[in-house]
Chains A and B, each alone.
Chain A
Amino acid sequence: MSQGTLTTARAEGALASLSWLVFAFLYAPIVVLAVLSFNENNNVGIWTNFSFKWYGEMFQNAAVMNALKNSLIVAVVSTSVSTVLGTATAVALERFRFRGQRVYDGLVYLPIIIPDVTMAVMMLLFFAQAFRMISGLGPHLNFGLSTISLSHIAFSISFVAVVVRAKLGQLDPALDEAAADLYAGRWMAFRKVTLPLIAPAVAGGALLALTISLDDVVVTSFVAGPGSTTLPVYVFGLVRRGVTPLINAVSVVMLTASMVLVAISLVFQRDRGAKTSTAEE
């Protein structure tokens, strides 16, 4: 690497210190929050003793536990459905040419770039209107976990599709041709050649969908019904009223969960990458 020689030592030092300053800015608030969550005192601002008290409280808190349960149900349902639909979308867009593909392409990217407030408004009006029409026919439907899951799937499909499509685009088309030369049918070639190669991307997309579902506040708060609050929506409601040690503990758990998910997805993709590169050598 000759890049180092292009900048003077002084510029290099300034660059390094600026960079680590940005990292400090990114991590300091998280660290402070984590430390404060172990404060025994009822008042967040006064440090008394190190304790796990608030973590214990959290597990005793029925509302928190119920919200957590709802979050997990929604996350599992929306992740599984959107992973399948998103992968199919990626394959259809990358491997096939068909009429209306461009419109479809746009439809897939739109949920990613649309602001979540707008998405929330869309889903609220849509379900309200749909329920009014359906109740005219008899059944009376209501907002709840199902509307939350349906909304989460609507924006997760796109994220899975984009991640998987990027991977599909990198694959050598000759691999499929080779499979065809060896008399593999299309389905067989997909299952035995393409799918194993895109598996890390599918897993990455699924983890992304899971993270987004577990983090979403805005859309969920619009389409949640009575008793179907998810954990972020519940915490959001509490946070708006003020800072409490209980929220600190719940926050640190949520933060840790999302960091673990990121770490798993990074390690997983790295591991697969390492394996293929050693195979190539």
Chain B
Amino acid sequence: MPTDVDQVDPAQTVVTPELERDAERAQARRGLLIAAPSWLYLTLFFAIPLVIVFVYSFASRSSTGLTVLENWNLHSYRRLFDPLVAEIAFRSFVLAVATTLICLIASYPLAYYMATRPPRYRNILIILVMIPFWSNFLVRTYAWRVLLGSDGPISQISQALGGEPIRILFTNTAVLIGLVYGFLPFMVLPLFAALDRMDWSLIEAGRDLYANGRRAFLKITLPLSMPGVIAGSILVFIPTLGAYVTPAILGGARTTLLGDYIVSQFLSARNQPFGSALSVAVMSIMLLATVIYFRRGARTL
């Protein structure tokens, strides 16, 4: 009974259940071997750090701001319900929802337009969306700081037209603009993917059955593009909820969001247990959203 299947000439082998089982085992061994290095890496540099954050969230903090890994408690989690924290969380949530909705409304016509173009033209449009998608996020956000500045182009144009100088930098509006700008391509691409896969003859069938354009859209196109809507919404909602770069550049002191609040717990307030608890909370919301995604709109991206 040969144990190593590789050494058997397949032409002379009669497949028996034992041989098949051995082959399966050898296959599993090889798979594990190939996966092992990255598995080890991700365990050490991802899974363990994840566990550490979780553990730290129950730790206590000394009067000097050091984390003490004893006296385990739920103090940090209780603080999540403080009015200040609730206000920041609420503001982040509202901004994330607003960003997602604006991106959805702006992206849908574009994705529809792209999906209904002839292939050659469509490819050019895809590239036009891909380029900002992969371009440096920090720089794209910075561009808005230049545009919205008190002596920036928008303000200058407004003044040249006899209007007031624009003062929206460091407000929630500026952060919202920056977030929509930053994450818009994340919405366009999954929407386009869903519309592109759609069987357009269904619309023709609908029209043949005397559905008008609006009815055909509401009853056929929109439901069929729902996986793309869900995927895009989650791809925009998750990063905006934890956004740090955009509020840091375009927001002010009174526009703290969850992302910069978490960062400040580590870099200035020196309260690691509370920062960890906040991270765990954000992560839980994100995981929940992802589970919804995989249940409802899987395999659109």
Contact = CB atoms under 8 A, between A and B. Distances in A.
Contacts of B213: 6-8, 11
Given A25-B181, A121-B275, A243 B149 contact: yes
B143 A30 contact: yes
Interface stretch (B12-20, B43-51, B82-90): B43-51
5 contacts: A45-B151, A45-B152, A115-B242, A118-B262, A236-B249
Interface in A232-281: 232, 235-236, 239-240, 243, 247-248, 251-252, 254-255, 257-259, 261-263, 266
B98 to A, nearest CB: 16
B59 to A, nearest CB: 10
The 10 closest A-B pairs by CB, nearest first: A96-B31, A115-B242, A45-B151, A92-B35, A126-B49, A122-B49, A29-B143, A98-B31, A85-B38, A98-B28
A235 B35 contact: no
A8 B143 CA distance: 38
Nearest to A123: B49
Contact of B116 (A3, A18, A116, A151): A3
Q: Which of B39, B138, B200 has the most CB of A within 10 A?
A: B138
B46 A111 contact: yes
Q: Which of B35, B127, B131, B245 has the most CB of A within 10 A?
A: B35
Given A6-B207, A115-B238, A258-B135, A43 B151 contact: yes
Given A19-B113, A89-B38, A117 B262 contact: yes
B124 to A, nearest CB: 11
A101 B27 CA distance: 13
Contacts of A92: 31-32, 34-35, 38
Q: Which of B45, B136, B241 has the most CB of A within 10 A?
A: B136
A232 B136 contact: yes
A126 B279 CA distance: 14
A85 B126 CA distance: 29
B204 A255 contact: no
Interface residues of A, number: 95
Contact of B39 (A8, A36, A104, A116): A104
B146 interface: yes
A18 B30 contact: no
A157 B47 CA distance: 14
Interface in B61-93: none
A4 B213 CA distance: 12
B233 interface: no
Contacts of A124: 266
B162 interface: no
Nearest to A27: B132
A62 interface: no
A223 B173 CA distance: 31
Nearest to B69: A129
B245 to A, nearest CB: 6
A262 B244 contact: no
B134 A157 contact: no
Contacts of B138: 215, 217, 232, 235-236, 239, 254
Interface in B142-186: 142-147, 149, 151-153, 156, 181, 184-185
A211 B52 CA distance: 28
